[in-house]
Amino acid sequence: MDELFIQRSFDLARLGGAKVSPNPMVGAVIVAENRIIGEGFHKAYGEPHAEVNAVNSVKQQDRHLLPQSTIYISLEPCCIHGKTPPCTNLILDQKIPRVVISAIDRSPEVNGKSLKILNEAGISVTQDVLPAVGIQLSQPRTTYVCRKRPYVILKYARSKDGFMAKNNGEQVWISNDFTNRLTHKWRGEINAIMVGTRTALLDNPSLTNRLYYGKNPVRVVLDKDLLLDKKLKIFDHQAKTIVFNEKENLELDNIYRVKIAFDQQLIHNLLTVLAQHKIGTLMVEGGATLLDSFYHDNLWDEARVITSANYLVNGLKAPMPEKVPSQSFQLESDEISVYLNDLGC
């Protein structure tokens, strides 16, 4: 039964999406007499946490059940004063006698401290229920807090024979329409999306979410000498665009030019800058050169590789992680493989 309600907390947590970043996605379910009497999720950064929303959702006629209820939470509750009060206080104040969590919050300021507080107060605590899912849901926050950078997702498509583009740079549509719609859904779930100079020039992408419900991510592009044509779609007014360059710092409407050295520390340093802008998740949709840079520096957390049923015969080889995929699934003619690079905390 614990797994059933923890699974529900996962479903709730995902509703927060990119709006909660750089906080973690968290869901909470309150159960008494074998029925759900309250549930909630963290809706946006700076707003009440999942536990608060769950307690507030309990109807007046059920509030007397709180002292005999169990609260199921996808992540260890917080015990620190931030933008909102600690959720451990809420649990104690409401006299909820049992807490079930999926995963420990691995950020240094929590990392089991909340469970210790609850245990010492006489609360029954059960942990590690479906922990793999709970850990993955909270991993972007762990990366942001522990590594001072966004959670990096590398996303790209390749042909059946392993190529991602033709040698002359000619644009080739590799994935199918269903996968294209899925990738737009992904764009609505992250804070920022990044391409390199060559991709911006040759493909002229909008990098917006046009095929699925959700907001547009912040666009990030490399333009060392500020040579990209300002008529490119990446500079339109559909979303904010951050341009990393070696020339100047300048803000022009929705365009933010950020001066940075294009040296061996480029990727590391730009990720630090993005974190300072409260960007907790970054999807990289660049070409082989940019992807290779992230792989080489081991500055990636997840790779979503789309393999088409089509062949290109020759061209630019797609880089691949030296790992076994944690998940693979078929979407019509395309196979989508997800690789995880858990760097811990």
Q: 194 — phi, psi (to 5°)?
A: -130, 140
Active-site residue numbers? 51
Instruction: Give the CA angle between residues 136, 19, 275 to the nearest 5°.
Output: 75
Burial of 266 (0-12, 13-18, 19+ CB in 10 A): middle
- Taking residue 185's Cβ as centre, other Cβ atoms within 10 Å add up to 13
Query: Using CA of residue 98, residue 102, residue 105, residue 106, what is the dihedral sign?
Result: positive
Q: Which residue has the tokens 């159960």?
A: 31
DSSP, collapsed to helix, strand or coil, labels residue 174 as coil
DSSP, collapsed to helix, strand or coil, labels residue 328 as strand
Q: Is the peptide bond before 24 cis (omega within 30 degrees of 0)?
A: no
47 contacts 19 by C-beta, under 8 angstroms: no
Distance of alpha carbon 163 from alpha carbon 282, whole angstroms: 24
* Residue whose C-alpha is closest to residue 322's, from 336, 341, 308, 335: 341
289 contacts 198 by C-beta, under 8 angstroms: yes
Distance of alpha carbon 247 from alpha carbon 338, whole angstroms: 37
Distance of alpha carbon 45 from alpha carbon 27, whole angstroms: 14
What is the spatial order of strands in the sheet that 124-126 belongs to?
35-41, 27-32, 70-75, 98-103, 124-126
